[in-house]
Homo-oligomer: A and B are copies of this chain.
């Protein structure tokens, strides 16, 4: 992402905090009027800036719906602390006023005892609704959906539908209101139309006449990734969620889809960096949790890297005879790792976006073989040039500020240069191929392709790269250095 400005001050929130603190002390009842026009996200910023012991009072000072909206935008950790420390009655009132999907999410964050206490204090209907939502996995369509949406029997007229929407809107329900879903006599999803299309529909028409009969929907157990793909592909603002009988259960709104996309992306970047994905934002992760997520993969990679020590051992004889070869080991294996890192990033992202699919693997092989050979040749030529220039600098005794320049690679320096160049072609080609194929392989066996992290590829290429390097050296230098 392009740079966010260094610490844009949240002016509005920051400016308001002193006023609100004063009001909380003198006349808490005035807080609601003072903050009436503010977006709940901004009011949540205010809440995060006032002392924690004043928060219960602050939330009591707001009307119920308003307090619930602010709670939805509040920092997760703070919200959990607040609800757990609050008396169960007040917490239940707040939570009951939240949107059903947010309510389920919030209860999932609490420890089980507190969640149960609050759940029991919630009115019957809301409790049932919440318990039903809690049944779904948090990363499924069911876990993302809200049960507040507008559905209309498709035999009704447009006027009846509009009156229904108006009534629901006046109740102050907030979500999934830009789209109206039509259902048949069995509750099966039969059509969709936007609020705007409903407004534009001719008077007297039946909903079934004006609704679009081809509705994109997802089953409640679908992964959130599938929901995100559908929203992206069809430019939707809401996706209806159905059960196995196509009965309408709820609606996933686009704001939750965007959050899901961002979370998935964070996970992908962390995996690509060679660690397990964090459960919480970086700054909110505990030191030990952070360490655990990193140490696991790092140790696995380390054990993989131990094979480089073994590989070096196999070529001990060659290393002793031609110590000059040692100098280029980091250069050669790292170039393989870097080219592998490029290839794996490209393919992981193309797979995630559906730009390539498993069956494209051979087309990718062909492309990456070409790319690898070309990139390897470029680096190979750079490598040969470097060895020859350094040798010339040494031979001609060039100095810079009194220091001798260049390096003496010995009488066979041309052969050494070609060994380095050829090894680079081989290692970069191997790195590129391995980096591009590993994500396919992981998906094929059912893993997340993003686990083909840059460090994972680099480790693979380090060990193989050493073998390639020494094999090339043996072929070129046999009879001279080796």
- Choice from B258, B337, B360 contacting A283 with Cβ under 8 Å: B360
Q: Is the CB of A327 within 8 A of B313?
A: yes
- Choice from B165, B270, B458 contacting A346 with Cβ under 8 Å: B270
Q: Which positions 41-92 of chain A face chain B at CB distance < 8 Å?
A: 41
**B-chain residues with CB within 8 Å of residue A342 when the two chains form the complex:** 273-275, 294, 297-298, 455
CA distance A313 to B446 in the complex (A): 46
* A-side interface residues, number (CB < 8 Å): 137
**B-chain residues with CB within 8 Å of residue A309 when the two chains form the complex:** 327-328, 330-331, 386
**B-chain residues with CB within 8 Å of residue A154 when the two chains form the complex:** none
* CB-based nearest B residue for A269: B349
CA distance A259 to B337 in the complex (A): 31
CB of A399 within 8 Å of the partner chain: no
**B-chain residues with CB within 8 Å of residue A355 when the two chains form the complex:** 281-283
> Contacts A196-B195, A287-B367 given: A379-B298 contact, CB under 8 Å?
yes
Q: Is the CB of A341 within 8 A of B274?
A: yes
Per-position binary interface string of chain A over residues 326-346, scored 1 when its CB falls under 8 Å from any chain B CB and 0 otherwise: 111111011101110111111
Chain B nearest CB from A374 CB (Å) reads 6
Q: Is the CB of B169 within 8 A of A197?
A: yes
Per-position binary interface string of chain A over residues 265-286, scored 1 when its CB falls under 8 Å from any chain B CB and 0 otherwise: 1101110111100100111000
**B-chain residues with CB within 8 Å of residue A320 when the two chains form the complex:** 323
**B-chain residues with CB within 8 Å of residue A178 when the two chains form the complex:** 178, 194-196, 237
**B-chain residues with CB within 8 Å of residue A295 when the two chains form the complex:** 374-375, 378
CB of A426 within 8 Å of the partner chain: no
Name the residue in A1, A3, A259 with the highest tally of chain B Cβ atoms < 10 Å from its Cβ.
A1
Per-position binary interface string of chain A over residues 385-413, scored 1 when its CB falls under 8 Å from any chain B CB and 0 otherwise: 01000000000000000000001000000
**B-chain residues with CB within 8 Å of residue A345 when the two chains form the complex:** 269-270, 272-275
Q: Is the CB of B454 within 8 A of A3?
A: no
* CB-based nearest B residue for A1: B352
Chain B nearest CB from A189 CB (Å) reads 15
CB of A232 within 8 Å of the partner chain: yes
Name the residue in A38, A165, A297, A306 with the highest tally of chain B Cβ atoms < 10 Å from its Cβ.
A306
Q: Is the CB of A237 within 8 A of B254?
A: yes
CA distance A348 to B444 in the complex (A): 29
CB of A6 within 8 Å of the partner chain: yes
**B-chain residues with CB within 8 Å of residue A258 when the two chains form the complex:** 231-232, 254, 257-258, 261
Q: Is the CB of B449 within 8 A of A3?
A: yes
CA distance A464 to B297 in the complex (A): 23
Per-position binary interface string of chain A over residues 170-196, scored 1 when its CB falls under 8 Å from any chain B CB and 0 otherwise: 100000011000000000000000111
Q: Is the CB of B272 within 8 A of A2?
A: no
Q: Is the CB of A283 within 8 A of B352?
A: no
**B-chain residues with CB within 8 Å of residue A165 when the two chains form the complex:** 196, 199
CA distance A166 to B195 in the complex (A): 10
Chain B nearest CB from A102 CB (Å) reads 11
Q: Is the CB of B282 within 8 A of A347?
A: yes
CA distance A301 to B254 in the complex (A): 41
> Contacts A262-B261, A357-B7, A358-B7 given: A334-B2 contact, CB under 8 Å?
no
Q: Which positions 351-369 of chain A face chain B at CB distance < 8 Å?
A: 351-360, 363, 367
**B-chain residues with CB within 8 Å of residue A306 when the two chains form the complex:** 331, 386
- Choice from B275, B291, B303, B330 contacting A329 with Cβ under 8 Å: B330
Q: Which 9 A-B pairs have the closest CB atoms?
A: A273-B345, A169-B200, A235-B255, A308-B330, A1-B352, A338-B455, A282-B350, A6-B358, A177-B196
Show 8 A/B contacts (Cβ-Cβ < 8 Å), sorted by A.
A37-B212, A39-B234, A169-B196, A261-B262, A269-B348, A272-B273, A287-B367, A298-B375
